[in-house]
A and B are shown apart, each in its own frame.
Chain A
């Protein structure tokens, strides 16, 4: 086993790890040895082919098809330099104050998070797109919501020179999206942070971690030769996301008992809903996600967003098969799409475990209130589709494959609640949160409000696993704000931490 020695090691390079790396770059610039270890590769420009299966394999854990243990939910997690910031759409929302208050983490205040969030809005070039760049898939949604009296807003997004390929979720082929691989990690490198890709940390010991470097066969080569490494560090920051951060800590021999570790996972369980227009609309030209409707957040606990997915992803999310399914799928140019996200509660039984081989296992149950939210979301989306001019709507829990306009007056009949059952509808998640939640007591949390693991002064967490509840909005800006805060705490204590 080879050995490496650092002052600070950051594990994971997504919204959390990339931010921590940049923020600790000041320490690297003044002589501290800082390394950023990333499981995935750093893709070259030529690796971004825009081909659905090829990019899913290159950029997502399990090609984006990781299932919860009972098989009722698909989980999408990025795996590349930049983590999930390579595969999101760049929608950049600041978490509302009421959600920070619901989190109720002592010492974590809304104004602190909002100040840090705005720092990253600026750093990532977040802005509203010009109306000329908005396609019909998005505009029809916004217009219909307004006519129905539903609150609708344009998404601020973090792009530069977006060419509108609509391939955001397959990695931007133009490098327009300002993820950590474009903004924070290059800055960290300039300040002297060493970046090591193709490097998977398997477990953590007392101020060391074990890492396996194994090339993926694409992307730039790793800075380290293939092999197993023991990496010593005075400070370790875990930023592997809501599944792999708790899994890594569960595999490790931590000197503390943390009963909340892996628990309180929330997912924003999501449905892809499709309406069919009588004519082709512009849907796969331009940015895919421009508007969201927050009208039902408090009353029915769901959020609606525009979206446009790729053929295989769309096909597997439509319920049914055969000629009807095929007919709809062969009219993708007429499709309007809505992503409905349920705002799920943080429950201790929804959790990440590891099996005997150390592989993460996700136990997550769609509770009746969450299914109620998804049911209401299907009906609201159907209203929006019909109002927008769609002639057919596919509701996953519909009595028939596609509902015609005549069904619009009796949606409760045509989309019965009893058909909204786990395993009968296709539910997915790209907003994975919790598992290392912040708090004050080791009995019901894993870290303090500054991301330090309770009872382990050299071990920190800085990613979405810190969330004590769901964020109720797209989470990446909040992840960056929290990572900024964790990095600040480490910087302030760096002399003490790095001297030990």
Chain B
């Protein structure tokens, strides 16, 4: 069963753009991989985890409406960041936990794509000692 509906995916995408700005410029293939990784991670866990995520995504929109009078996706970047920082550092442990889970999933979807490793200047090779020796001039 699909763990997230289309509304939840839209909310997640808006949050992802704030958490990792580069997700806004992913190619179609990279976006598909992003969603595939998150979908797979959710499907491997108890159904309650996907439900908690859906509720948290809705909660972020509610908080945006309460604080700024509109949905999260319509907020400016600084307002988005302030709102998410409140979830991250705020006094409610449940909200911090929810934010941590959301952030982990988004990071997994983006940084878990090993095709993107060169973007992060992370390019290990199977024979790393050869490169190391070359750099050392050995």
Contact = CB atoms under 8 A, between A and B. Distances in A.
Given A165-B124, A311-B120, A322-B21, A135 B107 contact: no
A426 B89 CA distance: 13
Given A323-B21, A326-B22, A423 B124 contact: no
Contacts of B29: none
A329 B62 CA distance: 30
B91 to A, nearest CB: 11
Interface stretch (B3-11, B53-61, B66-74, B125-133): B125-133
Given A51-B114, A135-B132, A424-B89, A329 B126 contact: no
B61 to A, nearest CB: 18
Contact of B96 (A65, A162, A423): A423
B117 A163 contact: no
A interface majority secondary structure: loop
Contacts of A173: 126
B129 A284 contact: no
A165 B111 contact: no
Contacts of A166: 124, 128
A330 interface: yes
B121 A331 contact: yes
A315 interface: yes
Given A52-B112, A284-B128, A312-B108, A321 B84 contact: yes
A332 interface: yes
A316 interface: yes
A285 interface: yes
Contacts of A259: none
Interface in A62-114: 62-63, 65, 70-71
A163 B22 contact: no
A50 interface: yes
A322 to B, nearest CB: 6
Contacts of A57: 44
Given A63-B44, A284-B122, A332-B122, A163 B127 contact: yes
A310 B113 CA distance: 11
Nearest to A65: B104
A312 B128 contact: no
Contact of A133 (B41, B44, B132): B132
B88 interface: yes
Contacts of B129: 133, 162-164, 285-286
Interface residues of A, number: 48
B138 interface: yes
Interface in A280-317: 280, 282, 284-286, 310-312, 314-316
Contacts of B21: 322-323, 326
A165 B121 contact: no
B112 A312 contact: yes
Given A316-B103, A316-B104, A322-B18, A50 B126 contact: yes
Contacts of B122: 284, 310-311, 332-333
Contact of B120 (A71, A174, A320, A330): A330
A47 to B, nearest CB: 15
Interface string B84-114: 1000110001001100110110011011101
A160 B124 CA distance: 20
Nearest to A280: B121
Contact of B117 (A63, A65, A311, A322): A311
Contacts of A132: 133, 136, 138
Contacts of A53: 37, 108, 112, 114
A167 interface: yes
Interface string B27-42: 0000000000100010
Nearest to A314: B111
Contacts of B116: 311
A311 B124 contact: no
Contacts of B22: 326
Contacts of A330: 119-121
A315 B121 contact: no
B93 A329 contact: no
Contact of A284 (B108, B124, B130, B138): B124
Q: Which 10 interchain pairs have the tightest Cβ spacing?
A: A164-B129, A164-B128, A285-B128, A333-B121, A332-B122, A311-B111, A312-B111, A315-B107, A285-B132, A321-B19
17 contacts: A53-B37, A132-B133, A133-B132, A163-B129, A164-B127, A164-B130, A165-B128, A285-B124, A285-B128, A311-B114, A312-B112, A316-B107, A322-B21, A326-B22, A332-B122, A334-B121, A423-B97
Interface of B: 18-22, 37, 41, 44-45, 81, 84, 88-89, 93, 96-97, 100-101, 103-104, 107-108, 110-112, 114, 116-117, 119-133, 135-136, 138
Given A285-B129, A286-B132, 10 more contacts: A52-B112, A53-B112, A163-B127, A164-B127, A282-B135, A312-B111, A319-B88, A321-B18, A321-B84, A322-B21
